[in-house]
Amino acid sequence: MSETKQFCTFYLGDLIFGIEVLEIQEVIRYQEMTAVPLAPKMVHGLINLRGQIVTAVDLRSRLEMPPLPEGQLPMNVVVRTEDGAVSLLVDEIGDVIEIDGDDFESPPETLHGVARDLVDGVYKLKERLLLLLNTPKTVNYATHPGADSGGRRQAA
């Protein structure tokens, strides 16, 4: 019997993702942001988190998904990384769930594109599949320089 872990879950379109709770600093509502000119597309802006300046990464853009429909505001999932806090913008927050390690599987071979790089594996929940996001890779732009190219974004 392997150990169980707690995951914070969130939604992007019709997908459900999870990040281990230990990596998460906090979850906050949408904040006013300062856009950064010349920045990579995935950087949505900067937020002021109690005096600390935190980069907000648009997770939809990072995963090459179409942008959130107009009028809908994303939520901030603030994760701890080696280089300080980074906020991930997600559509909606789900529950914190406890999952048994036995339910883990590597991502299927058919998964390709940027998701292949950023998804560490899949947890088989009762009703659906939870995608486990690799946060260091997600916030690290350098590992995937192609994410910024406009052509690929439109294709997605």
Partner 1 sequence: MTDELQQQLINDLLIESLEGLDRFDKELLALENHSGGAETMNIIFRVIHTIKGTAGCIGLCKIESTAHVGENLLSLLRDGKLQSSSEMISALLALSDALRGMLRDLEASGTEGQRDHSVLLQRLRDLQTATRSPAAPAPAPDAPAAFGLFEDTPAAAPAEHRAEPGKPAAAEPAQAAKASIADSAIRVDVVQLDKLMNLVGELVLARNQIMQNTTQLDAAALLIASQRLNLITTELQGSVMKTRMQPIGNIWTKFPRVVRDLSQELGKKINLVMEGQDTELDRTIIEAIKDPLMHIVRNAADHGLEMPAVRAAAGKPEEGRLTLRAFHEGGQVNIEFIDDGQGINAARVKAKAVERGLVTADQASRLSERETHNLIFLPGFSTVEKVTTISGRGVGMDVVKTNIEKIGGSVDVQSSAGLGTTIKIRIPLTLAIIPALIVTSGGERFAIPQVSLLELVRLESEDAHKKIESIYNAPVYRLRGQLLPLVDLSRDLGLDSRKSASADGAVNIVVVQADGRQFGLIVDAINDTEEIVVKPLGKQLKSITCFAGATIMGDGRVALILDVLGVAQHAGVISEVRDHGIAGDGKAAEKADNRQTLLLFQASLESCMAIPLSMVARLEEFPVSSVERAGSQEVVQYRGQIMPLIRIANFVSGAAAADTAEKDPLQVVVYSEGGRSVGLVVAKISDIVYEALTVQRSAARDGILGSAVIQERVTDLLDVPSIIRSADPTFYKAGIN
Residues at the interface with partner 1 (CB under 8 A) = 32-40, 42-43, 45-48, 51-55, 57, 83-84, 86, 139-141
131 DSSP β-pair partners:
17, 122
CB of 33 to partner 1, least distance (A): 8
Order across the sheet with 104-105: list the strands: 92-100, 4-12, 15-20, 129-133, 119-124, 104-105
Taking the complex as a whole, the smallest distance from the CB of residue 82 to partner 1 amounts, in Å, to: 9
Cβ-based nearer residue to partner 1, 30 or 108: 30
CB-nearer residue toward partner 1: 16 or 54: 54
* CB-nearer residue toward partner 1: 16 or 118: 118
Q: Which is nearer to partner 1, 9 or 55 (CB)?
A: 55
Closest CB to partner 1 among residues 54, 122: 54
Give the shortest CB-43-to-partner 1 separation in angstroms. Answer: 5
Long-range pairs for 100-109: beta carbons < 8 A, 24 or more residues apart: 100/1, 100/2, 100/4, 101/2, 101/3, 101/4, 101/5, 102/1, 102/2, 104/132, 107/131
Q: How far is CA 53 from CA 37, 59, 139, 142, in A?
A: 16, 18, 15, 20
Question: How far is it, in rounded angstroms, from Cα 84 to Cα 91?
Answer: 23
Smallest distance from partner 1 to CB 110, Å: 30
Q: How far is the CB of 149 from partner 1 (least distance, A)?
A: 16
